[in-house]
Amino acid sequence: MTDTVPNLRDLGGTDVEGGSIRPGRLLRSALPLRDDVAPPEIVWPPAVVIDLRSVAEVEPEHPLAGPDVTVHNFPLLSALRPGVAPPESLAELYQLMLQTTARHLVEVVDAVAAADATTLVHCAAGKDRTGVSIAMVLALLGAKRDDIVDDYLVTAQNEEQIQARFARLYGERRAALPAGYIATPVEAISGVLDTWDEYPGGAVAWFHRWGGRPETIDRLRTTLVR
């Protein structure tokens, strides 16, 4: 069975300080499968894959693993464990992510900056963990707040694709989550951006606070910006 990669998009063309994201360098999506195809305008398969799923979610071998593919795994929701009630809202979930896995978020940025070829960032839906990670990359590059929010909201248009992928993979075994987790609420990503904006020195200083290095941002710009 061949499907199109759900919730897939190229961040190319996004305006940032001093230019825009180079097409074909940074992709985001829901969980891809080995037999997935991509639209002809998307560079596929990626050479670098950044998987944000938890240890309990990942397969023994990533679906896109291969001799020419580098796969990283940085679990951004490790605070959610069996027996632990998840936050009621995505806004709270995203704040939990920032509070408990900030260093993994720094590692995501490090991996994107170090990549010298097409890089895919994904989680399960390509919405929450991926949304926060991409927002961090764009914020560090000086993207406008509205552009970061607009990219996040694109996922709402792809909800049918995401649910079809979950049905194919999990069927009735899909974990029960609060109903609001299916949504793509603007207040959730806005809360993340508020956290960075309100931190003394902004997103860059927040990144440094959790171990990010100035040279990483320089390399991120060299890698992604044209």
Question: Mean pLDDT per 10-residue run, the chain (226 residues)?
Answer: 88 98 98 95 97 93 96 87 74 95 98 98 97 99 99 96 87 65 95 99 99 98 98
Largest CA distance in the chain: 50
Phi, psi angle pair for 121, to nearest 5°:
-110, 125
State the pLDDT at residue 56.
86
- Amino acid type, 49: V
Contact 78, 100 (CB under 8 A): yes
Q: Give the burial string for 33-64 (b: 16+ CB within 10 Å, else e).
A: beebebeeebbbbbbbbbbbbbeeebeeebbb
The HSE-up count of residue 217 (CA atoms within 13 Å, CB side) is 18
Give dist(CA 159, CA 178) in Å, integer: 16
**What backbone phi and psi angles, to 5 degrees, belong to 18?**
85, 5
Q: Which of 79, 58, 189, 188 has the alpha carbon at shortest distance from 122?
A: 58
Q: Residue 100 and residue 182: Cα distance in Å, rounded?
A: 22
CB atoms within 10 A of CB 67: 4
Phi-psi map region of 201: left, alpha, beta (phi>0 left; psi -120 to 50 alpha): left
Interatomic CA distance for residues 201 and 52, integer angstroms: 27
Q: At what angle do helices 129-140 and 90-100 cross, to 10 degrees?
A: 60
The pLDDT value given to residue 167:
86
Residue 41: helix, strand or coil by DSSP?
coil
Tell the CATH topology of 9-211: Protein-Tyrosine Phosphatase; Chain A (3.90.190)
Q: Is the peptide bond before 75 cis (omega within 30 degrees of 0)?
A: no
What is the reported pLDDT for 80?
65
Residue 182: the pLDDT is: 87
> What are the extents of the domains in the chain?
9-211
Q: Phi and psi (nearest 5°) for 48? A: -130, 130
pLDDT of residue 32: 97
- Supply the pTM of this predicted model: 0.94
Edge-to-edge strand list for the sheet holding 48-51? 9-10, 26-29, 119-122, 48-51, 70-73
